[in-house]
Structure 1
Amino acid sequence: MALVRRWSSFLVIGAVFIFVFYRLRSPITTPGAADTTLTPTHPHSSVSEPHIGSTKFLWKDIPIQNKVTSYIAYPSGNPQQLSKIQHDFSKDTGPQTKIEKELREKRQAEVRNTAKRAWAAYREYAWLQDELDPINGGGKNTFGGWAATLIDSLDTLWIMDLKDEFHEAVKAVKEVDFSSSSQQTVNIFETTIRHLGGLLAAYDLSKEKILLAKAIEVGDMIYKAFDTPNHMPVARWNWAKAAAGTPQTAPEQVLVAELGSLTMEFTHLTQATGDKKYYDAVARIMDVFQREQNNTLLPGMWPVAVNAKTEDFKSDNAFTLAAMADSAYEYLPKMHALLGGIDARYESMYRIAMDTAIKHTLFRPMTPDESDILVSGFARPNGDSVKLDPQLQHLVCYTGGLFAIGGKLFDIPEHVRIAQKLTNACIWAYKAFPYGIMPEVSHLVPCASMDHCPWAEEVWRGAVLQRSSVGADNPEDVLHYISQSRLPEGIAKVDDGRYILRPEAIESVFVMYRVTGEQSMQAAAWDMFTAIQKHTATDIANSAIADVTAPDTIAPKAGNMESFWIAETLKYFYLIFSDPSVISLDEYVFNTEAHPYRRPV
Structure 2
Amino acid sequence: MPTHFPVQSMRPMPTGKPLTLPKIQASFGKEGGKDREIRLKRQQAVKSSLKRCWKAYGKHAWLEDELTPVSGSSRNTFGGWGATLVDSLDTLWIMGLQEEFEQAATAAVAINFETSTFEEVNAFETTIRYLGGFLAAYDLSGDTRLLRKAREVGDMLYKAFDTPNRMPMPRWNFAKALANTAGEAPLRALVAEIGSLCMEFTRLSLVTGNPKWFDATERITDALKSQQNETQLPGMWPITVNPFKMKFTDDNTFSLGARADSTFEYLPKMVALTGGLLPDYAGMYEDAMKTAIKYNLYRPMVPDEADILIAGSVHTSEQDGEIVTALESEGQHLVCYAGGMLAIGSKLLNIPDHLETARKLVDGCIWTYKSMPLGIMPETFFMDPCESQSKCPWDEVRWKTAVLLHHKKSGDLTQADELISKNRLPKGFTSIPDTRYILRPEAIESIFVLYRVTGKKDLLESAWAIFQSIQKYTETDLANSALKDVTIANGDPLKMDSMESFWMGETLKYFYLIFSEPDLISLDEFVFNTEAHPLRRLGA
Does the TM-score normalized on the shorter chain lie above 0.5?
Answer: yes
Q: Alignment RMSD, CA only?
A: 0.9
After TM superposition, give the deviation of residue 380 of structure 1 in Å. 1.1
In 2: Cα distance, 1:208 partner to 1:466 partner: 58
> 2:511 maps to which residue?
573
2:343/2:355 contact within 8 Å kept: yes
In 1: Cα distance, 2:535 partner to 2:386 partner: 40
Q: Which amino acid aligns with 1:391?
A: E
Q: Does 1:257 align with 2:192?
A: yes
1:129/1:139 contact within 8 Å kept: yes
In 2: Cα distance, 1:110 partner to 1:530 partner: 10
> 1:484 maps to which residue?
422
> 2:134 maps to which residue?
199
2:329/2:384 contact within 8 Å kept: yes
> 1:79 maps to which residue?
18
Q: Which amino acid aligns with 2:72?
A: G
After TM superposition, give the deviation of residue 379 of structure 1 in Å. 0.8
For 1:386-425, what aligned pairs fall within 5 Å after superposition?
386-425=325-364
> 1:435 maps to which residue?
374
> 1:367 maps to which residue?
302
Deviates most, 310-319 or 141-150: 310-319
1:392/1:443 contact within 8 Å kept: yes
1:439/1:494 contact within 8 Å kept: yes
> 1:306 maps to which residue?
241
| Structure 1: runs of 5 or more not aligned | 1-61
In 2: Cα distance, 1:327 partner to 1:133 partner: 27
After TM superposition, give the deviation of residue 474 of structure 1 in Å. 4.1
> 1:472 maps to which residue?
410
Normalised TM-score (structure 2): 0.98
| Residue number among 457, 460, 482 corresponding to 1:519 in the alignment | 457
Q: Which amino acid aligns with 1:252?
A: L
2:404/2:411 contact within 8 Å kept: no
After TM superposition, give the deviation of residue 64 of structure 1 in Å. 1.0
1:440/1:499 contact within 8 Å kept: yes
2:481/2:499 contact within 8 Å kept: yes
In 2: Cα distance, 1:244 partner to 1:133 partner: 33
> 2:533 maps to which residue?
595
| Residue number among 68, 73, 77 corresponding to 2:7 in the alignment | 68
Q: Does 1:132 align with 2:67?
A: yes
Tell me, what secondary structure is at the counterpart of 2:169? coil
In 1: Cα distance, 2:63 partner to 2:490 partner: 35
> 2:267 maps to which residue?
332
In 2: Cα distance, 1:217 partner to 1:342 partner: 27
> 2:523 maps to which residue?
585
1:398/1:504 contact within 8 Å kept: yes
After TM superposition, give the deviation of residue 69 of structure 1 in Å. 2.2
Tell me, what secondary structure is at the counterpart of 1:89? coil
In 2: Cα distance, 1:525 partner to 1:559 partner: 25
Q: Which amino acid aligns with 1:359?
A: K
In 1: Cα distance, 2:344 partner to 2:401 partner: 38
| Residue number among 276, 283, 286 corresponding to 1:341 in the alignment | 276
In 1: Cα distance, 2:411 partner to 2:395 partner: 20
1:502/1:565 contact within 8 Å kept: yes
Tell me, what secondary structure is at the counterpart of 1:104? helix
> 1:380 maps to which residue?
315
> 1:242 maps to which residue?
177
In 1: Cα distance, 2:274 partner to 2:537 partner: 8
After TM superposition, give the deviation of residue 512 of structure 1 in Å. 0.6
Moved over 4 A (4+): none
> 2:208 maps to which residue?
273
After TM superposition, give the deviation of residue 477 of structure 1 in Å. 2.3
In 1: Cα distance, 2:394 partner to 2:63 partner: 52
> 2:253 maps to which residue?
318
Tell me, what secondary structure is at the counterpart of 1:312? coil
For 1:180-195, what aligned pairs fall within 5 Å after superposition?
180-195=115-130
The percentage of counterpart residues that share the same residue type is 54
1:481-524 CA-to-partner distances (Å, cap 9, x unmatched) read 21222110000100100000000000000001000000000000
Kindly tell me the number of residue pairs found equivalent between the two proteins.
Answer: 535
| Residue number among 258, 278, 283 corresponding to 2:218 in the alignment | 283
Tell me, what secondary structure is at the counterpart of 1:225? helix
> 2:445 maps to which residue?
507
In 2: Cα distance, 1:458 partner to 1:313 partner: 42
Tell me, what secondary structure is at the counterpart of 1:442? strand
In 1: Cα distance, 2:535 partner to 2:411 partner: 58
1:343-362 CA-to-partner distances (Å, cap 9, x unmatched) read 11000000000001011101
In 2: Cα distance, 1:359 partner to 1:476 partner: 36
In 2: Cα distance, 1:375 partner to 1:354 partner: 14
After TM superposition, give the deviation of residue 467 of structure 1 in Å. 1.6
| Structure 2: runs of 5 or more not aligned | none
> 1:498 maps to which residue?
436
